[in-house]
Amino acid sequence: MTEDNKKKPNPIDIHVGSRIRLRRNMLGMSQEKLGENLGITFQQIQKYEKGTNRVGASRLQAIASILG
């Protein structure tokens, strides 16, 4: 697979992920703790925060409830 064929994260997904990271850090919460509260791994949180994986609407609502 060449560099051109690799799928790059959508800028909106990157922005959403960066806002999740910002709020989580403001609260002093670890990726592990957020993942535990959501029932997912910290690796999945990392992917959301980097924009590698898109956050679905229901998952985003759950994250918002936890992070306030």
Task: Dump pLDDT digits (tens) for 17-41.
Answer: 999 999 999 999 999 999 999 999 9
Q: How many residues does the chain have?
A: 68
Alpha helices in 1-68 (DSSP H): 11-26, 31-38, 42-50, 57-67
CA distance 25 to 19: 10
Task: Dump pLDDT digits (tens) for 40-53.
Answer: 999 999 999 999 99
Domains (range + CATH), the chain? 9-67 (1.10.260.40)
Claim: this prediction has a pTM higher than 0.85: yes
